[in-house]
Structure 1
Amino acid sequence: MARRLTQQDIARMAGVSQTTVSLVLNNRADSEVRISPETRQRVLRVIRETGYIADPAARRLAEGRNRILGVFTYEAVFPATSADFYHPFLVGIEECAEEVGCDLLLFTSARVTGQRRRIFNEDSRVRLADGCVLLGRTVDRDDLARLIADQIPFVSVGRRDDAGGPVPYVGADYVAATRALVERAARLGHRRLVYVGTGEGAESTADRFTGFQAAVTGLGVESVQVRPDRPGLLEAVRATGAGAAFFEEQADAVVFMQAAAEGGLAVPEDLSVVTLGSATRPVRTDTDFAGFLIPRREMGRRAVELLTKVLETGGTPQELLPCELIEGSTLIGR
């Protein structure tokens, strides 16, 4: 079997140094090494005549890149089923990584600190990857701050508040989607609404509540908030006198629907129900909820696209993708 040609061989045949061959192969210039057009053409001619193909691993090392993108998840997402909340994100991430010619490294050795996974610990391997995609309902702010301070390229799936500096992210526009659903309810004659959720915590949760509050204020409709974990949720919602209930978490709406059926409350005849996104907890339901779809697959794809942009040109890209509104069968006029 013939020995594989090396850059040293090409340098000897062209009568130049190996550094010159490397600079020509990578189409780079060096302030200390000036390459004349004639020398460059001589090197390229030897490469053509010998059929030399640069070792891709060596070229990546020369570029300072491994073409490996890390994926860190704050919740366990692997293996994921088709019904899992995180599955579409992972599908989008994998699709785009394949298109840009990168391998994925799923960080699974992160130890739990307190009640949460953390990126940084004594065994952290985050620097093995060129950059990292962060995935989770909530992301640790100390982790974000250190990623920014250590200048480790990353993109978060989901909008994140600043953490010692702006955070690069691709998120869903929950504010606009929630506002649009409140406006739809108002057009159908609903003048009193109930928001079933905490309205606090993760940015995605706060954004939903922000959109709800902005819409009811602008429309001049009445609203009240009920926490989903309170005892007697069905009676608490009934007591508000609202004609439509907006559920922050679809899984809570599914449980509520079961209680409503048992308690003699007809949906949507007695109470319209709107859900603000897909269920983040595993539930089974055949209900065609009015609400919106989170562009999860596209968010995963776009996160990889933005990460490659960060690696190539730097910057702190921030994007919000629109959600698709669903008419459903659980929201009707009063």
Structure 2
Amino acid sequence: MTAARRRLTQQDVARMAGVSQTTVSLVLNNRTDADVRISQETRERVLRVIRETGYVADPVARRLAERRNRILGVFSYEVVFPTTSADFYHPFLLGIEECAQEVGCDLLLFTGARATGARRIFNAENRVRLADGCVLLGRTVDRDDLARLLSEGVAFVCIGRRDDAGAPVPYVGADYPPAVRELVERAVGLGHRRLAYVGLGEGAESRADRLRGFREAAAALGVDGIHVPVAGRTPDDLLAGLAEAGTTAAFVEESADSVAIAHAARERGLVIPGDLSILALGIPAHPAHLDFTGFRIPRREMGRRAVELLTGVLESGGTPQELLPCELVDGATLAPARG
């Protein structure tokens, strides 16, 4: 049996081209600095040997020289692959993967899983420094983790706006308040005067931002805007509360609640949007046969931009913070208020 072919090295290329290994390295890295003096004839001779031999630089050696692994980490505070969460996380992951490939980096998924309790980045077997930097995903992110990442100088970017954690946090998020305000303006323009925000409106910054946009718009337009919390309430309970308050347009925080309320309304014989307009503050991926009016969260774009910002942090530092606009969707669940 023939012995396995030995891997070609830079020393081999240097010997065949009649130059030093340093010269080969400079040519491979396309160094053309003023202090790098390599004649065009020598450069072409090295490149010819590389082409003829099919030499490929050792990625481990190159990464050691750069002091980089060219590996970006992705850490999620929730499980991302089961079908119950796939609709929410898939666009983020798609954007992350696309951009990582474009910038020539591999991805490493961190779980931080423990036998009990919530996920945390830092634990007894912390491996986050295996990556050059990390993209953080999660509806809610542990504040202590953020503070430690900042204090230890770990390069990271959050997907989703984050409040300070002892210092400003780098993030790319969705710009919710303007999108919510425009939807409120559309509803008021169609005669709605009793509006309700249906959702938690607290906890995660994304929820607080949406509720803030709703309240600011309702106050500016002089209409009634109430908050209907969802915790511990069934869709039927929510519908009953909306009816009791005389609500004609419901602004629903979570896509799953938009779908559940629409289903419950149909079972009660209510017409959407004739009897109740529903505006989804994050169009669901599978809208259950309803073409919701509302907006789409730019999840794929946020994933891509997170990687772009992270590569910038790795190159030059800084604390980037960006908000991307949401895409408004006309849909078919907003109609003029009756009466």
TM-score (norm 2): 0.85
Shift of 1:37: 3.1
What is the aligned partner in structure 2 of residue 255 from structure 1? 260
What is the aligned partner in structure 2 of residue 47 from structure 1? 46
The alignment yields a C-alpha RMSD, in angstroms, of: 3.0
Question: What secondary structure, in the 3-state scheme, does the structure 2 residue paired with 1:70 have?
Answer: strand
What is the aligned partner in structure 1 of residue 9 from structure 2? 5
| Structure 1 residues 74-131: Cα deviation after superposition (integer angstroms, max 9, x where no partner) | 11012558962111111111111111111111113532663x2001111111111111
1-structure distance, mates of 2:328, 2:138: 23
Count residues in correspondence.
326
Greater alpha carbon shift after TM alignment, 101-110 vs 200-209 = 101-110
Mapped contact 2:132–2:155 kept (Cα < 8 A): yes
What is the aligned partner in structure 1 of residue 314 from structure 2? 311
Mapped contact 1:112–1:118 kept (Cα < 8 A): no
Shift of 1:197: 1.5
Shift of 1:300: 1.0
What is the aligned partner in structure 2 of residue 206 from structure 1? 208
Shift of 1:10: 3.6
| Structure 1 residues 154-184: Cα deviation after superposition (integer angstroms, max 9, x where no partner) | 1111111111211111111111111110011
| Structure 1 residues 205-254: Cα deviation after superposition (integer angstroms, max 9, x where no partner) | 00100110111111111111111235422221111112211111121222
Question: What secondary structure, in the 3-state scheme, does the structure 2 residue paired with 1:167 have?
Answer: coil
Q: Pairwise mapping of residues 17-166 of structure 1 onto structure 2 (< 5 A)?
A: 26=29, 37=37, 44=43, 47-48=46-47, 50-51=49-50, 54-78=57-81, 84-111=87-114, 114=117, 116-166=118-168
Give the residue type in structure 1 aligned to 2:280: T
What is the aligned partner in structure 1 of residue 275 from structure 2? 270
Identity of paired residues, percent? 63
**Structure 1 residues 269, 186: closer, same or farther in 2, change over 3 A?**
same
**Structure 1 residues 43, 127: closer, same or farther in 2, change over 3 A?**
farther
1-structure distance, mates of 2:278, 2:60: 55
Q: Pairwise mapping of residues 316-327 of structure 1 onto structure 2 (< 5 A)?
A: 316-327=319-330
- Pick the aligned partner of 1:179 from 166, 178, 181: 181
Shift of 1:48: 4.1
Mapped contact 1:118–1:140 kept (Cα < 8 A): yes
- Is 1:297 matched with 2:300? yes
Mapped contact 2:283–2:292 kept (Cα < 8 A): no
Give the residue type in structure 1 aligned to 2:203: G
**Structure 1 residues 284, 324: closer, same or farther in 2, change over 3 A?**
closer
Greater alpha carbon shift after TM alignment, 163-172 vs 78-87 = 78-87
1-structure distance, mates of 2:138, 2:168: 18
TM-score (norm 1): 0.86
Question: What secondary structure, in the 3-state scheme, does the structure 2 residue paired with 1:156 have?
Answer: strand
2-structure distance, mates of 1:239, 1:2: 79
Mapped contact 2:79–2:85 kept (Cα < 8 A): no
Mapped contact 2:157–2:310 kept (Cα < 8 A): yes
Mapped contact 1:81–1:87 kept (Cα < 8 A): no
2-structure distance, mates of 1:289, 1:212: 18
Shift of 1:198: 1.9
Give the residue type in structure 2 aligned to 1:259: A
Give the residue type in structure 2 aligned to 1:66: N
Give the residue type in structure 1 aligned to 2:131: A
Structure 1: tracts of 5 or more residues without a match? none
Give the residue type in structure 1 aligned to 2:142: D
**Structure 1 residues 238, 134: closer, same or farther in 2, change over 3 A?**
same
Structure 2: tracts of 5 or more residues without a match? none
Mapped contact 1:11–1:21 kept (Cα < 8 A): no
Shift of 1:262: 3.1
Mapped contact 1:10–1:43 kept (Cα < 8 A): no
Mapped contact 2:13–2:46 kept (Cα < 8 A): no
